[in-house]
Copies of this chain bind each other. A is one copy, B any other.
Amino acid sequence: MQRWSKLFIPTLREAPADAEVASHKLLLRAGYVRQLGAGIYSYLFLGNRSINKIVAIIREEMDAIGQEFLLPTIHPKEVWEQSGRWTGMGDNMFRLKDRKGAELCLGMTHEEVMTSIARNELRSYKQLPQIWYQIQTKFRDEPRPKSGLLRVRQFIMKDAYSFDIDAAGLDASYDAHDRVYRKIFNRCGLEFVAVEADSGAMGGSQSQEFMVYTEAGEDLIASSASGYAANLEKATSILSPVEDLEATSDAPEEIHTPGFRTIDEVGAFLNTQPHHQMKTMAYMAAYTPGTKEAEKLGVLRPVVAFLRGDHTVNEAKLSAVTGGELRPMTPEEIADVFHAPAGYLGPIGLTGVAPHPKKPGVIVILDKALEGRKNLIAGANKAEYHLRNVTPMRDFKPSLAADIRNVIEGEADPIDGSPLRLGKAVEIGHIFKLGYKYSESMGARVLDQNGKEVTPIMGSYGIGIERILTAAIETSAAKNGGEAYALPPTIAPFQVIVTVTNIKEPALLEAGEKLAADLTKAGVDVLLDDRDERAGVKFKDADLTGVPYRIAVGKKLSEGQVELLDRLKNETADVAVPDVVHALQTKLGV
């Protein structure tokens, strides 16, 4: 039991003006956190207590499948160079030098350090599988920290890494994490959805994100009634057939389109639909020097993507196809590649350029939605002209066709054609099959059953601790108009607040003390509000804490009753004092 009179819980009547999302406002108002700098927060008593509860749940579940380590926060440059990510992480990585000038970084993730331990210590298939995890502070120099604890520069993660002798072993380690993550999120009281995900900068083959729907989220996920769920970087859909335009000739023909640059302008001018047009997207892909990609493609290479006029490109999908890091072409680069200004770009006559002596040429990607289409309208690569009758494969040959577009709400899902819903969500966990990326580049080797040296196959698995707290707050706040919330009892800083409405009445104070003591004895985590404040202030403060249950010891005590507020259900009931412990145990399911 803790007594509020002894605690420092700086609640605020108003949220600071710069707090945007509900969880940010409420975490500040409830005195969970205070900001120290951009994307840097101090966790005060309530915030830390909630985080400790989340950590305890994760530790308990992870101990069933793995071993807890604790790795360093500061890493020597060398291990990141071995994996090839020292440059790849760019400005997102905090870098520093020690007093001797040696270069270090702050760990954003720990594939490198874990793999270096595996490399030094693992020698035989007999030592596999291994699952090593830690609960640790991570750092990421976010360009735009915001949304309170949702996008910060310092945060706590549970990260785990698996080492297996073969792909079947990795499947088992990956599935074990999938199972345990579901248990963890269920215990934390979250409504989550597991979605197919892109493995992005981490490398690897299969990956899944655990997401919680919330307007505060920055990710979009597509799901449908069939159970299909994927984030936008992976989501696919089946398109309804569209009718092509009639051919006006059997080759592309120029049309004068003075001043008409956008899909809409050209469509209106030519009286055609957006899906009759081709959209041209022009990028430069940067490849990390020294990598196989860079050797094959050069360090910088033009990438041009063509999509249906009414579709938008998904850069993560495009990047998964092309490799490298994409950025839009500069006007100069556009001029070099297309010899034409933006607004009039198209596929015909693209001039191969040589950004790197080895293999000149532009990477041209055709979105799959354009496969089989004909008589399209596209830019003519000539100022103030478009072309009609453009037919892919006949008139130009892309490097390859791939799904690089964003799905659109209402399109048919790939399982049974149920319409897709798009929703914002926040990522709370992520599991990856890394494959051999780190074990190979860092030289981890073990002997297999035949005495042959083989490379162990790896997985990596993360949970954002603060994300669990913020997702729970956002979900609850959304149901309460954004101004109130109640946390699941497993992760709330306390399970119940016993509010003595007036401590100057000895009978009330005594009854409150006894109830709090009885509840504590029954294993309930109690905060006793024994402050010398008005009842209204206390109720308001109790609401702000997000503690799911509140017992008010007030006037009805003379009738032997107290008021039990269930803030998860927004229900109030009068309960006879001797029944309180049982009533609460029932609610808590203990």
Residue of B nearest to A91 (CB): B99
Residue A151 at the B interface, CB < 8 A?
Answer: no
In the complex, per-residue mask of A469-485: 1 if CB is within 8 Å of any chain B CB, else 0: 00000000000000000
Chain B residues, Cβ within 8 Å of A139: 73-74
A590 surroundings in chain B (CB, below 8 A): none
Q: A99-B91, A99-B143 are in contact. Are A51 and B70 (CB under 8 A)?
A: yes
User: What residues of B have a CB within 8 angstroms of the CB of A73 in the complex?
Assistant: 73, 137, 139, 154
Q: Chain B: which residue is nearest A71 at the CB level?
A: B42
Copy total for this chain: 2
- Let me know if A52 is at the binding interface, CB within 8 A: yes
A70 to B149: give the CA distance in the assembly, Å: 14
Binds B, one of A112-120, A273-281, A346-354: A112-120
A364→B121 CA distance, assembly (Å): 58
B79→A36 contact, CB < 8 A = yes
Could you say which residues of chain B place their CB within 8 Å of the CB of A116? 36
Q: How far is the CB of A583 from chain B (nearest CB, A)?
A: 28
Contact A43 B69 (CB under 8 A): yes
Is B113 a contact partner of A36 (Cβ separation < 8 A)?
A: yes
Once the chains are docked, how many angstroms separate the CA of A67 from the CA of B4?
Answer: 11
Q: Which of the four size classes fits the interface of chain A? A: 35 or more
A26-58 to B contact mask, C-beta < 8 Å, 1/0: 000000001011101111110111011000000
Given contacts A34-B117, A94-B96, A121-B34, contact A130 B72 (CB under 8 A): no
- A8 engages B127 (CB within 8 Å): yes
Q: Is A7 an interface residue (CB 8 A)?
A: yes
Q: Which residue of B lies closest to A134 (CB)?
A: B48
Instruction: Indicate if A68 sits at the interface (CB-CB under 8 A).
Output: yes
**Which chain B residue lies CB-closest to A94?**
B96
A76: Cβ under 8 A from any B Cβ: yes
A153 interfacial by beta-carbon distance below 8 Å: yes
What are 7 inter-chain pairs, A to B, with CB distance below 8 A?
Answer: A8-B121, A36-B72, A44-B67, A48-B68, A72-B154, A73-B73, A96-B106
Other 12 A-B pairs with CB < 8 A, given A34-B117, A45-B67 = A7-B67, A8-B132, A36-B71, A36-B113, A42-B70, A42-B72, A72-B154, A73-B73, A74-B94, A74-B154, A96-B106, A98-B153
Query: Which 7 pairs between the two chains have the least Cβ-Cβ distance?
Result: A96-B96, A43-B70, A37-B76, A45-B67, A91-B99, A40-B72, A10-B121
